[in-house]
């Protein structure tokens, strides 16, 4: 008599487990894996890989890749960036503004929903001048953000953080050192 009930119970539990499992398999708003490359001088590049991009907390989410160089005397110029992130933007002009703990150099995507799984994305920073600091601590951060501009205006000055996740921290970059790859 109890068998049909047991079968249904098993099915329901199994289905619930499947739903829970599929919803939580490595879904992250920040890249699940990647690299930071530094050539020891003015150039850095980063690769980003998502298993399952999201879940996004905003209806129009963006993504930003932040390089926080703690010592403001390490890179003394603004940066320029290049990226193949979808609908990408260069956030260098905002570096050093509202950054009390050292400049944050960034690039990002205005439309994070276009980011796809198992696809390597790339972005790079270039600087033109170096200051007196021989080394600096740095942090690499993945950030979900959203635009708070009037509709239709895409501007880096309107992108505000919703969530952020340190990807690399407790490390130093050294001026004039060997080209270095650091995985995260």
Partner 1 sequence: MWVEGLSGTHRTHEDLGSEKFIQEARIQTIIFLKNGLIAHRTHIKKMLDKHSKNELVENKQLLSQARSLLNLTQQFSNALQAASSDQPLIYGLELMGESHILEQVRTASKVSSSKTVGEITANNQEDNYESLKPAFYKSEFKDQSIQSASPEKIYELLHTANLTSRKGDS
Cβ distance to partner 1 smaller for residue 49 or 70: 49
- In eight-state DSSP terms, residue 114 is G
Phi, psi dihedrals of residue 55, rounded to the nearest 5° = -70, 140
Q: How far is CA 40 from CA 55, 64, 82, in A?
A: 36, 23, 18
Residue 47 binds to partner 1 (criterion: CB under 8 A): yes
Whose CA is closest to 110, among 140, 85, 142? 85
Q: H/E/C letters for each residue in 116-175? A: CCCCCEEEEEEECCECCCCEEEEEEEEEEEEECCCCCCCCHHHEEEEEEEEEEEEEEEEC
Residue 80 binds to partner 1 (criterion: CB under 8 A): yes
Residue 178 binds to partner 1 (criterion: CB under 8 A): no
Residues 170-181: b if buried by 16+ CB within 10 A, e if exposed: eeebebeeeeee
Are the C-beta atoms of residues 68 and 36 closer than 8 Å to each other? no
Mask for 96-135, x = binds partner 1 (CB under 8 A): ---------------x--x--xxxx-x-x-x---------
- Which stretch, 55-63, 78-86, 140-148, 169-177, contacts partner 1 (CB under 8 A)? 78-86
Q: Residue 92 CB, nearest distance to partner 1 (Å)?
A: 7
Residue 5 binds to partner 1 (criterion: CB under 8 A): no
Count of positions on this chain that bind partner 1 (CB under 8 A): 37
Choice from 27, 133, 134, 149 touching partner 1 (CB under 8 A): 149
Residue 175 binds to partner 1 (criterion: CB under 8 A): no
- Which stretch, 4-12, 63-71, 88-96, 160-168, contacts partner 1 (CB under 8 A)? 88-96
Q: Which residues bind partner 1 (CB under 8 A)?
A: 35, 37, 39, 43, 45, 47, 49, 51, 78, 80-84, 86-88, 90, 92-93, 111, 114, 117-120, 122, 124, 126, 149-155, 181
């Amino acid at each position: 008599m109890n068998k049909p009930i047991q079968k249904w119970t098993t099915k329901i539990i199994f289905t619930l487990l499947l739903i829970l499992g599929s919803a939580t398999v490595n879904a992250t708003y920040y890249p699940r894996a990647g690299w930071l490359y530094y050539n020891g001088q003015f150039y850095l590049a980063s690769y980003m890989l998502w298993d399952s991009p999201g879940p996004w907390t905003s209806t129009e989410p963006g993504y930003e890749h932040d390089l926080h160089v703690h010592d403001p005397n390490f890179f003394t110029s603004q940066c320029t960036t290049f990226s193949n992130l979808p609908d990408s933007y260069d956030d260098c002009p905002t570096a050093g503004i509202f950054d009390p703990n050292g400049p944050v150099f960034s690039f990002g995507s205005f439309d994070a929903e276009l980011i796809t799984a198992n696809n390597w994305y790339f972005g790079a920073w270039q600087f033109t001048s170096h200051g007196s600091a021989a080394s600096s601590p740095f942090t690499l951060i993945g950030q979900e953000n959203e635009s708070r501009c009037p509709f239709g205006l895409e501007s880096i000055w309107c992108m505000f953080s919703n969530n952020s996740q340190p990807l690399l921290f407790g490390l130093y970059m050294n001026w004039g050192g060997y080209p270095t790859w650091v995985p995260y």
